[in-house]
Structure 1
Amino acid sequence: MKKFLNINDIEICIDDTEHGENSLLLIHGLTGNKTTMYPIRDMFKDDYRVITIDTRGHGESTRPKKYTIDDHAYDIHEIIKELSLENVNILGYSMGSYIALRTAEVKCDNIDNLILLCTKPHGKTSSVARLLKEADMDITKVTQEEMMGVILKASLAPQTYEKAINGELNVKELLKGDESQELSEEEKAAEDASLANFDNSKDYDKVTCRTLVIGAEYDGINPPELGREVADGIKDAEFELIKDAGHLVIVEQPDEFKDIVNNFLNQ
């Protein structure tokens, strides 16, 4: 069920399956929104109460002209409080993993398990912005389709990339994102600025919840060695590498991804 929550003086739009004893909160990646996390929601909705969110600046949530990764983290804690979630599990993907980790660094006592998918410890800008700059493209002006064209090769394992190029695999259809919620040039600039010089590596010691980091062998957006660096920095964190997959691991190896997450949450 779609809901709008008044969080920190803005509206945050969420989708809440509402059923399940244990909750799983999903945080989307760069330029994404709650709909881009529906493939993961659908994997776990039979066993968990799954909440997907539009982070501030995205989807149907309020789109401020300026915000930070810390703003996102405080929003997540307020969402947890507003929904009366106890011992919530949080899964963040790409940019969402940076937000999820910062959320745990702010406060961990209401987080049971933390899962960071395709993550990195810090960055001068977003990984996508870096790739676009290397391709001589402006992130504030590029369309979603142009962006996908630039990052596709960096996002997929070689064999999956060949299928996508040959038309054997429709990545866009599998991700099922809502194109009507695409960001404007100004909104993309605000999103990119929110990640400027972020550094989660300074507060690893504040993460006391169980943590799993998942990397993908051919991830050219956030290479797996960066995820392993995060796992090495957090006490007792686990690291899993998914072979034959890139940044779009949930499309390429959905069954292995689901098994890894389930095994971790059920320990």
Structure 2
Amino acid sequence: MTETLPEYRVSGAGDTTIFMLHGAYGDGRYFANTAAYLAEAGYRVVVWNCPGYGQDETPADFSIDYAGNAARALIEAEGTGTNILLGHSMGALIAPNAAMKSNGRVHGIILSGASIGFQNRTPQDQARFLKERIAPITEQGMTVQEYAPSLLKTMMAPDAKGHLVDLVYKVISEMKTDAFMASMKALTEYNNTPATKAINVPTLLLSGEFDTACPPAGMEKLAAIIPDSEYHMIRDAGHYAFAEQVDAYHAHLIDFLNRRFSS
């Protein structure tokens, strides 16, 4: 297991800490607004850059298990009395993996823009997913910066706009292609079903109505697997609901946190 902590930033204070785990595209910077909102609401917030992102070199043996071990180590280093994992997209694969390894130190999970798992997609959907994300790099020699903007438009609601949407584009445009490729390999090889079935803490699932990367139907299936879970689809949002429909996204977060974890 990895012993080196990933890059991370802490804001806010209190005995309830929310660990924010970003997706394969981008890094933790696109969570800045939500992190500030949660800190203002009285929660302590830890936003990481997944191993290989930010200034970190991409680990040669990167996998979802590797990332889960890194998240576990971060929880051990920065955890408080109550710890909640908010995983978005790839982070929603890492969060249950880390929770399973954390010996009861994770008390709640939020899955945002989550997938039922690559191996649980239909063959047609697997092919589409790879064609959209991998083929531009492996077959056309493009970087993430060159092809991602057009793909991101299809992952968001038709009218998505605003400075937070612009921030998502900016953060993704600055990421390393090798980190993204390592993440794609990791998530296509990972079977998330055991970790999902092992979730035994209150869980909130949030999807976007127009999310083509992790469609609402898949998140409904996830919710059916997790015993103590609640699911909400956010209207007029796609994969990045925290940037597209900020008020609705934050309202679901704070309602869940205050109901389930307020002292």
Q: Offset at 1:199?
A: 1.8
- Structure 1 unpaired stretches of 5+: 1-6
- CA gap of 1:177–1:153, structure 2 versus 1, over 3 A, is closer
Show the 5 A alignment for 1:40-59. Answer: 40-46=34-40, 47-59=42-54
Q: Structure 2 residue aligned with 1:175, among 168, 174, 180?
A: 168
Contact map agreement 2:137 2:143 (CA 8 A) in 1: no
- 1:158 and 2:158 aligned: yes
CA RMSD of aligned residues (A): 2.8
What is the CA–CA distance in structure 2 between the aligned matches of 1:191 and 1:78, rounded to whole Å? 19
Q: Offset at 1:53?
A: 0.4
Which digits, 9 at most, give the CA deviation of each residue in 1:93-121, with x for residues without a partner? 11111111222233461112100001012
Q: Offset at 1:177?
A: 4.9
Q: Structure 2 residue aligned with 1:80, among 69, 75, 84?
A: 75
SS where residue 6 of structure 2 aligns?
Answer: strand
Contact map agreement 1:132 1:139 (CA 8 A) in 2: no
Identity of aligned residues (%): 24
* TM-score (norm. length: structure 1): 0.83
Which residue of structure 2 lines up, in the alignment, with residue 253 of structure 1?
Answer: 245
What is the CA–CA distance in structure 1 between the aligned matches of 2:221 and 2:190, rounded to whole Å? 16
- 1:26 and 2:24 aligned: no
* TM-score (norm. length: structure 2): 0.85
- CA gap of 1:189–1:212, structure 2 versus 1, over 3 A, is same
- CA gap of 1:78–1:63, structure 2 versus 1, over 3 A, is same
Q: Offset at 1:128?
A: 10
Aligned length: 253
Greater share of helix: 2
What is the CA–CA distance in structure 1 between the aligned matches of 2:29 and 2:138, rounded to whole Å? 21
Q: Offset at 1:187?
A: 3.2
What is the CA–CA distance in structure 2 between the aligned matches of 1:88 and 1:209, rounded to whole Å? 11
Which residue of structure 2 lines up, in the alignment, with residue 3 of structure 1?
Answer: none
Which residue of structure 2 lines up, in the alignment, with residue 105 of structure 1?
Answer: 100
What is the CA–CA distance in structure 2 between the aligned matches of 1:134 and 1:83, rounded to whole Å? 37
Which residue of structure 2 lines up, in the alignment, with residue 214 of structure 1?
Answer: 206
What is the CA–CA distance in structure 2 between the aligned matches of 1:33 and 1:139, rounded to whole Å? 22
What is the CA–CA distance in structure 2 between the aligned matches of 1:156 and 1:180, rounded to whole Å? 16
Q: Structure 2 residue aligned with 1:238, among 230, 240, 247?
A: 230
Which residue of structure 2 lines up, in the alignment, with residue 229 of structure 1?
Answer: 221
Contact map agreement 1:113 1:210 (CA 8 A) in 2: yes
- CA gap of 1:237–1:180, structure 2 versus 1, over 3 A, is closer
Show the 5 A alignment for 1:123-142. Answer: 123-124=118-119, 130-131=128-129, 133-134=131-132, 136-138=135-137, 141-142=141-142
- Structure 2 unpaired stretches of 5+: none
Which moved further from structure 2: 36-45 or 237-246?
36-45
Which digits, 9 at most, give the CA deviation of each residue in 1:172-213, with x for residues without a partner? 5343855795214x3332222111232212343321111111
Which residue of structure 1 lines up, in the alignment, with residue 148 of structure 2?
Answer: 148
Contact map agreement 1:118 1:214 (CA 8 A) in 2: yes
- 1:37 and 2:31 aligned: yes
Contact map agreement 1:97 1:118 (CA 8 A) in 2: yes
Q: Offset at 1:155?
A: 1.6
